[in-house]
Amino acid sequence: MKKVYIKTWGCQMNEYDSTLIKSFLEKKESYLLIDNAKKADILILNTCSIREKAQEKLFHQLGRWRKLKKDNPNIIIAVGGCVATQEGIKIFNRANYINIIFGTQTLHRLPNMIKSAIVSKKLIVDVINYKSIEKFDNIQYTVTSISRISSLVAIMEGCNKYCSFCIVPYTRGREVSRPVIDIINEIKQLTKLGTREVILLGQNVNSYFGEYINGKKCDFSKLLYYISEINEIYRIRFITSHPLHFTNNLIHAYSKIPQLIDSLHLPVQSGSDRILKLMRRRYSTVQYKIIIEKLKSIRPKMHISSDFIIGFPGETEIDFKKTMALVKDVYFDMSFSFLYSPRPGTPASILKQNTSIEERKKRLFMLQNKIIIQSKKLSLNMLNTTQSVLVDGIAKNDIMKLSGKTMNNRTVYFEGRHSCIGKIVKINITNVSRHTLIGRVI
């Protein structure tokens, strides 16, 4: 039995890919997944390249593993994910002790690569797959690979949008959607392991384009209706959608599908139309605000979160003020906000930076601070209210308590019986901090 250790960083798609790797390896009886790199025979690194320093981070980690390999030359080291897809053999040129380089679309072949590497002791590079949907075939989860109340399910992968700053279209390839039937089967399989909430995953979930059913292509909103028919699924979330394809049908789904939660993560990136153009985002701030207004007319309690890029080349003080105004208008609850970082091969990477790093950092701090204040206010509004909470397990910091999620995706801690796990319970909110709440079962 070979012991396998997997290290992952980056986006949720990457995390999901690692879950797939685990399920592929667990299907083979000869592998055991462990949490300690020092005891492993096989070390797998699943990398991300969305922001800067991806390469440095990768070689740092490999450096640490090199020491383990010195003590035990039989260790197999495999490097995958977005950096591996982009860099390929170049990684070996800098770290000639690695054995396998695999891509975001070839991870289903990893068990075979490992087998060959053990036998041949030669470098194996397999990063390209033209049938990119293949990795989703034959997914079979086990209790150890996944046994969660809330599970990620990929519905599509890749991106055709080519925002000027983004590396994803180059590392994840063009958009491909999984067949509806596969997605439904996977969700049903997960419900048998206890899943009650699905997080539908993709770079642009609302570009989803499934098969024809009754003569009509199944789009994202239709897929949501199908999923809502699975009785054991109480809640449906998705990341990430794009404002460009946030259709009226999708908005309307919020009035028909109670399982859709009251929280939406919709990346806007900037509040300045001039910058949005330079970013090639293909919507305006007004279009964005209209989507939010329509949604809030259906779900007044909806919380909105977003991604922001601060300090995009050419961003002026006025552009930044527009972003801050949008933050207030929409009243964002949470953000993933970062300084712009030039990514190799993207159109924006040749644009000149006009603002000092100090100024850019100051802007980022101001934005994050404003959103934190808003977030606290939104939490305060929940004090003394009754919330429907999906109980997802034992609280991280207090084993005497349970944790769960409100409809608007706030974590709540409360005392309760373990038999509540996986159920929806009514909780009175008695105490709040920014993103977590304390409550009492009613």
Distance, in Å, from the CA atom of 159 to the CA atom of 168, rounded to the nearest integer, reads 7
* Least distance between ligand F3S and beta carbon 102 (Å): 21
Q: Please state, as a whole number, how many other Cβ atoms lie within 10 Å of the Cβ of residue 303.
A: 23
Cis peptide before 355 (omega within 30 of 0): no
Amino acid identity, position 222: K
Distance, in Å, from the CA atom of 201 to the CA atom of 158, rounded to the nearest integer, reads 11
Q: For residues 162-201, which are near ligand SAH according to CB under 6 A?
A: 165-166, 168
Q: Please state, as a whole number, how many other Cβ atoms lie within 10 Å of the Cβ of residue 204.
A: 20
Question: Taking the chain, what is the end-to-end CA distance rounded to the nearest angstrom?
Answer: 49
| The pairing of beta strand 209-213 with beta strand 216-219 | antiparallel
Out of 189, 247, 341, 353, point to the residue binding ligand SAH (CB under 6 A): 341
- Which among 338, 332, 317, 244 has a CA at the least distance from the CA of 275? 317
Judged by CB under 6 A, does residue 15 bind ligand SAH?
no
Judged by CB under 6 A, does residue 244 bind ligand SAH?
no
| Beta sheet of 76-80, edge-to-edge order | 31-33, 2-8, 42-47, 76-80, 100-102, 124-126
Q: How many helices (H) and strands (E) does the chain have?
A: 13, 21
Judged by CB under 6 A, does residue 161 bind ligand F3S?
yes
Judged by CB under 6 A, does residue 265 bind ligand F3S?
no
Q: Is 82 annotated as a binding residue?
A: yes
Judged by CB under 6 A, does residue 168 bind ligand F3S?
yes
Judged by CB under 6 A, does residue 242 bind ligand F3S?
yes
Q: Is 218 annotated as a binding residue?
A: no
> Collapsing DSSP states into helix, strand and coil, what is residue 138?
coil
Q: Which stretch binds ligand F3S (CB under 6 A): 87-95, 129-137, 146-154, 165-173?
A: 165-173
Judged by CB under 6 A, does residue 99 bind ligand SAH?
no
Q: For residues 169-198, which are near ligand F3S according to CB under 6 A?
A: 169
DSSP per residue, 261-275? -SEEE---B-S-HHH
Site string for ligand SAH, 51-90 (x = CB under 6 A): x---------------------------------------
Q: What is the DSSP letter of 38?
A: G
The site partner of 393 among ligand F3S, ligand SAH, none (C-beta below 5 to 8 Å per kind) is none
Judged by CB under 6 A, does residue 425 bind ligand F3S?
no
* Least distance between ligand SAH and beta carbon 309 (Å): 5
Applying CB under 6 A, the residues found at the interface with ligand SAH are 50-51, 165-166, 168, 203-204, 240, 267, 269, 307, 309, 338, 340-341, 343
Applying CB under 6 A, the residues found at the interface with ligand F3S are 159, 161-163, 166, 168-169, 203-204, 242
